Structure 1
Amino acid sequence: MSQAEKPKGGFDSAAFLRTLTSRPGVYRMLDEKGAILYVGKARNLKKRVSSYFRPGNPSPKVQALVAQIRAIEVTVTHTEGEALLLENNLIKAHRPRYNVVLRDDKSYPYIFLSGESDFPRLGFHRGPQREQGRYFGPYPSAGAVRETLQLLQKLFPVRQCEDSFYRNRSRPCLQYQIKRCTAPCVGLVTPATYAEDVRHAVMFLEGRSNTVAEELAERMETAAAALEFEQAARLRDQITSLRRVQERQYVSGGGGDADIVAVAARAGMACVQVLFVRGGRLLGSKDFFPRAPEGIEAREILQAFLPQFYLNARHAADIPGEILIEAGFDASELLEEVLGTEAGHRVRLLHRLRGERARWVVLARTNAEQALASRLASRQDVYRRFEALQDALDLDALPQRLECFDISHTMGEATVASCVVFDRNGPLKSDYRRFNISGITPGDDYAAMQQALSRRYTRLKSGEGKLPDVLFIDGGRGQVAEALKVIEELQVEGVIVVGVAKGPSRKAGLERLVVGGIEFTLRADSPALHLIQQIRDEAHRFAITGHRQQRARKRSRSPLETVEGVGPKRRRGLLRHFGGLQGIARAGVEDLARVPGISRALAQRLYDAFHNES
Structure 2
Amino acid sequence: MSLLNLERGIKNIKKIASNLPFNSGVYKMISSKNEVLYVGKAKNLNKRVKSYSNPMKLNYRLQKMVSLIEKVDFIITKNEAYALLLEASLIKELKPKFNILLKDDKTYPYITLRKSHKWCQIKKHRGKKIVGDRYYGPFASVYHVNNTLDTLQKIFPIRTCTDHEIENRKRPCVQYEIKRCTAPCTKLINITDYNKIVENLESFLLGKENKVLKNLMVEMHSLSESLHYEKAATFRDKIRSLEKINQSNNKESNNLISADFFCITNIKNMFAIEIIFFRNGKNFGSNTHYPYVYREVDSKSLLSKFIAQFYNKNENIPRKIFISCDIKEKKLLQEALQIKNNNKVEIKLATTSSNIKIITEGMKTAKINLANKISNQSNIKEFHNQIQYRFKLSKNIRKIEVYDNSHFSGKEAIGSFIVANENGFLREEYRKFNIKEASSNDDYGMMKEVLTRRFNIQKFKSFPDLVIVDGGLGQLSVAKSVFKELKIETVCIIAISKGKIRNASNEIFYNISGEKVYLKSSEPLFYYMLRLRDEAHRFAITTHRNKRNKNIFKSEIDNIENIGPKRKKNLILYFGSLEGIKKAEINQLLKVPGINKNVAVSIYNYFKAT
Residue in 2 that maps onto 1:413: 411
Residue in 2 that maps onto 1:270: 271
**Residues 49 and 266 (structure 1 numbering): CA distance in 2 closer, same or farther, change over 3 Å?**
farther
Contact kept in structure 2, 1:260 and 1:323, CA below 8 Å: yes
TM-score, scaled to structure 2: 0.84
Residue in 1 that maps onto 2:481: 485
Contact kept in structure 2, 1:251 and 1:282, CA below 8 Å: no
The one-letter code matched in structure 1 to 2:337 is L
Q: Which is bigger in relative contact order (C-alpha 8 A, separation at least 6)?
A: 2
Distance 1:163 1:380 in 2: 51
Please state if 1:431 is matched with 2:419.
no
Aligned residue for 1:135, secondary structure, equals strand
Please state if 1:550 is matched with 2:551.
no
The one-letter code matched in structure 2 to 1:11 is I
| C-alpha deviation, 1:88, in angstroms | 1.6
**Residues 228 and 91 (structure 1 numbering): CA distance in 2 closer, same or farther, change over 3 Å?**
same
Contact kept in structure 2, 1:510 and 1:521, CA below 8 Å: no
Residue in 2 that maps onto 1:530: 527
Residue in 1 that maps onto 2:10: 11
Contact kept in structure 2, 1:271 and 1:290, CA below 8 Å: yes
Contact kept in structure 2, 1:27 and 1:40, CA below 8 Å: yes
Distance 1:281 1:39 in 2: 37
Residue 339 of structure 2: which of 341, 353, 357 is its match? Answer: 341
Distance 2:106 2:83 in 1: 24
The one-letter code matched in structure 1 to 2:547 is Q
Distance 2:162 2:229 in 1: 34
Residue in 2 that maps onto 1:458: 456
Task: Map residues 376-391 of structure 1 onto 2, 5 A cutoff.
Answer: 376-391=374-389
Residue 394 of structure 2: which of 376, 384, 396 is its match? Answer: 396
Task: Map residues 65-84 of structure 1 onto 2, 5 A cutoff.
Answer: 65=65, 72-84=72-84
Residue in 2 that maps onto 1:587: none
Aligned residue for 1:389, secondary structure, equals helix
Residue in 2 that maps onto 1:138: 138
The one-letter code matched in structure 2 to 1:190 is N
Moved more, 140-149 or 423-432: 423-432
Residue in 1 that maps onto 2:472: 476
The one-letter code matched in structure 1 to 2:471 is G
Distance 1:183 1:559 in 2: 32
Distance 2:340 2:85 in 1: 10
Distance 1:488 1:18 in 2: 48
Contact kept in structure 2, 1:399 and 1:469, CA below 8 Å: yes
Unaligned runs of 5+ residues in structure 2 are 564-580, 584-606
Contact kept in structure 2, 1:414 and 1:547, CA below 8 Å: yes
TM-superposition CA deviations, 1:205-239 (whole Å, max 9, x none): 11111221122223323433444433332221110
Residue 517 of structure 2: which of 504, 517, 520 is its match? Answer: 520
| C-alpha deviation, 1:519, in angstroms | 2.4
The one-letter code matched in structure 1 to 2:343 is H
Residue in 2 that maps onto 1:196: 196
Distance 2:490 2:50 in 1: 44
**Residues 351 and 463 (structure 1 numbering): CA distance in 2 closer, same or farther, change over 3 Å?**
closer
Q: Percent identity?
A: 33
Contact kept in structure 2, 1:386 and 1:528, CA below 8 Å: no
Contact kept in structure 1, 2:454 and 2:460, CA below 8 Å: no
Distance 2:209 2:114 in 1: 21
Distance 1:7 1:352 in 2: 44
Aligned residue for 1:556, secondary structure, equals helix
Please state if 1:296 is matched with 2:297.
yes
RMSD: 3.0
Contact kept in structure 1, 2:401 and 2:464, CA below 8 Å: yes
Distance 1:561 1:331 in 2: 52
| C-alpha deviation, 1:310, in angstroms | 0.7
Contact kept in structure 1, 2:6 and 2:67, CA below 8 Å: no
Aligned residue for 1:503, secondary structure, equals coil
Distance 2:555 2:249 in 1: 47
Unaligned runs of 5+ residues in structure 1 are 1-5, 570-579, 583-605
Task: Map residues 210-359 of structure 1 onto 2, 5 A cutoff.
Answer: 210-249=210-249, 251-253=251-253, 254-312=255-313, 315-316=314-315, 318-359=316-357
The one-letter code matched in structure 2 to 1:412 is G
Residue in 2 that maps onto 1:447: 445
Residue in 2 that maps onto 1:150: 150
**Residues 406 and 237 (structure 1 numbering): CA distance in 2 closer, same or farther, change over 3 Å?**
same
Aligned residue for 1:212, secondary structure, equals helix
| C-alpha deviation, 1:387, in angstroms | 0.3
Aligned residue for 1:407, secondary structure, equals strand
Please state if 1:541 is matched with 2:542.
no
Please state if 1:115 is matched with 2:122.
no
Q: Which has the larger radius of gyration?
A: 1
